[in-house]
Each structure stands twice: as structure tokens, then as C-alpha cells.
Amino acid sequence: MTNEDHEALFESLLNGSLPDDEGRFGPFGGRYVPETLMPAIDRLTAGVHRYLPDAQFQQELQSELKSWVGRPTALTHAPRLSDRWGAEVWFKREDLAHTGAHKINNTIGQALLAKALGAQRIVAETGAGQHGVASAAACARVGLPCTVYMGEIDVARQAPNVDRMHRLGAEVVPVTSGDRTLRSAIDEAIRDWVSDPKGNYYLLGSAIGPHPYPYLVRELQAVIGREARTQLLERTGLPDAAFACVGGGSNAIGLFHGFLADRSTALFGVEAGGRGVELGQNSATLASGRPGVLHGTHTMLLYDDDGQIQETHSVSAGLDYPGVGPEHALLQLVGRVEYVTASDDEALAALDECCSLEGILPALESAHALAGAKQWAAANRGKRILVGMSGRGDKDMPILADYPVNRSKGSVDAAA
């Protein structure tokens, strides 16, 4: 494709022509699902087009976002990090939303949609547990039973969130097959959905999956970027760069959409560089992946020369996924968003720095965005930077217990 083709695709995205009627973002997206699921997909698509623009539905959603979720979330200046980095650093505080992350924006919207469509039961998947907690909370709010599938490995490393899901009334099903992380949890949730596609509603947590999910999740998360842009213009001005972590990509696509048309704002998605560049050592799909089909969509994936999807690694459970949302794949293709990586060690160091300088414990996922922003700031002194703080790190304390702050090896306190 030529540069002119890329620009035409980007303009189609800006004017609302993408995804198209087939759910495609240029060469990515679509609907690759079993025939038994197509009636459910068609009902969902019709419901999205009917209810999302509906004034009464939007009134109910906006009321829940304001009075229950706690929107708008804060825009916080980070003065000590700004001094340290030599930049003007701002956080969009999704960690302050109800249940502790951006996930609640999507789950309350989809739970209201499921109820409007007459669903009898909600099925969801989770990796870091935040989507599971948000799904459980939203289902309790609207009065629908909820079953959450979670990989056995993630159940162990995200134990606080498992307890929270139980407290909120959800059934949590550990998945012992496959890689026992997010990919396997999605597989099992889809199997459950297929068993009763009319009575069940699959509340997908990220901007992945078959159409209309990437579009639906983006529309429900775009409130992040809209708010951040308005807040920044009221306080200081547009950022020179905005950073968000990327696994499946829901918080990033939500943040980026507020700034896509602002060409002066560079956009960076930060993937999990893990322990190294080899397959299986990271979750850097856009940095290292190839096109393919997974979980109902055509996007960038991590697979070997035999076409086998590879197990991934990240210290953050929420980034531990071998694919990415198709809209991110398009944004990389057309050059509007640059996707970079941060290693486990860099993310852990960024988390400690944020804690000790700003009094904010970010989620390990968000720490990757911080690490990417710090790398960019080093070469762009004096610039204004927005970091998407996708969630808070309370859930990560069992993981962080294995990585104590080493004050003798470049700790924040020692370096200050």
C-alpha cells in the first residue's frame, strides 16, 4: 500500500467510515466465528446500532458513569516526575474510577446493553482480573448473573481480584487448559457463549474479537480521551505526546481516540517487552507479530513459522496476550501511532519511581506506559506528556512481593 492509501484509510477512520459494514479496519478486523454464533453476533450488531445512539440509553449510561463510576476521572499533574524527567508530565487517572481501572467504562455500558437485549446471563473473561471485577460489579448493578473465566496462572497471581469477584457475586472459573492465561480464558468464555448464544451475553473486555466488539469497546472507552483532551485544554494545552499501555488495547484505543485528529500530538502504545525479544519471552505483538486470525478477528499476532500461536510473557497479567485489537493494527499500518516496548525490569522501575515520587501506585500494565514515556522524555526535554494511568496497582501486590525494591541498585530514593 502507498502512503496515499494509508492516508485515505486514516481519513476514513477519522470521518467514521471505519470499521465498515463488515467490521473491517482496512485489512484488519472482520468476523471469523463459528456459524452457530452468527445469529448472536448479528443480534449484538443490531443492538449496538440501535442502542448506542439512543438518547434514553445514553442518558442511563451517562448517569451511571457520573454517579456510580465516578466520571470524569481526574487529570493529575506529576510535578516531581516532571522535575526528574525534564518534561511536563500529566496522568489521566483511570485508576480512580470505580473498581480501580478503565475496565468499568466498558462493562457498565455492555451490561446495560445486554439487559436491553434481553440476556439472561453474562459470560466474561479476565487476565489481570480488573475486567472480571468490573464485569462482576456491573452485573450486580444491573441484576444479571455473571460467570468469569480466568487462567489458572492469573488466578494465582491476581488473588485479590479473584476475592473481589466472589464478593461481588460472580462465579470465577479457573481455566487449566492451554497457556492458562488470558488467551485460554477467552477460549473458554467463547465455548460457554456458544452453548447458549441467545440466553448468554459475552461481555468481552478488550478491543479485540469479532465485529462489533472492537468498535463497541472503543466507543465505550473513548470517554477517556475525550475527557483528557478537554481537561488538558482547560489546564495547559494539548500534549506533545500521549502514552498508553497495550495488551488487547482497550485503554489505549480509548485514550488515543481523543487525539487522533491532533497531528501535533504524537501517540505511543507501549507493549510488554517481557524478558527478551524471542518468541515466548514477551507480549510485543505489534513490535514482533505477523497478520493472522485469533478469537474472531484478523489482526497482528505472535505465532511461529508453523502458524502456532505462541505463549507470551509479561510481569503484568493484563498485557499477557498474543494478539491486539485490529484498530491498533491499522493505526500502526498508517503510521498514526508508534508502538514501542518496555521490559519487565523497566516497568518495575517505573512503578517504583512513580510510587516514591508521586505517591501513586500504578498497575503493572500502566507502569509500562510510564516506562515508555520516560524513555521518550529523555530525548525530548521540556515537552508536555500525557500518560494513561489505566489502573491502580493494589491488585499487583502478590506479584510485587516477588520484586522487592532494591535500594542498592538504582532505587528512586538512592537516585534522588
Cell numbers representing residue 174 in the block: 479457573
Q: What share of residues in the chain are helix, strand, coil (percent, to 5)?
A: 50, 20, 35
Q: Is 125 one of the catalytic residues? A: yes
Residue of 60, 88, 94, 125 marked catalytic: 125
The answer to whether 121 and 192 are in contact (CB under 8 A) is no
CA dihedral of residues 50, 51, 56, 60 (deg, nearest 10): 180
* Beta strands, E only, 84-203: 88-93, 121-126, 146-151, 171-175, 200-203
Q: Is the peptide bond before 212 cis (omega within 30 degrees of 0)?
A: yes
Q: Is 94 one of the catalytic residues? A: no
CA dihedral of residues 22, 28, 29, 30 (deg, nearest 10): 40
Q: How far is CA 110 from CA 13, 105, 115, 122, in A?
A: 23, 9, 9, 10
Cell numbers representing residue 378 in the block: 529523555
Strands 146-151 and 121-126: parallel
- Beta-bridged to residue 93, according to DSSP, are 389
The Cα 84–Cα 358 span in angstroms is 11
In a 10 Å sphere around its CB, with 0-12 CB exposed, 13-18 middle and 19+ buried, how is residue 177 labelled? Answer: exposed
Q: Is 305 helix (H, G, I), strand (E, B) or coil?
A: coil
Strands 171-175 and 88-93: unpaired
Residue of 103, 288, 314, 374 marked catalytic: 103
User: Could you give the residue numbers annotated as active site?
Assistant: 103, 125, 390
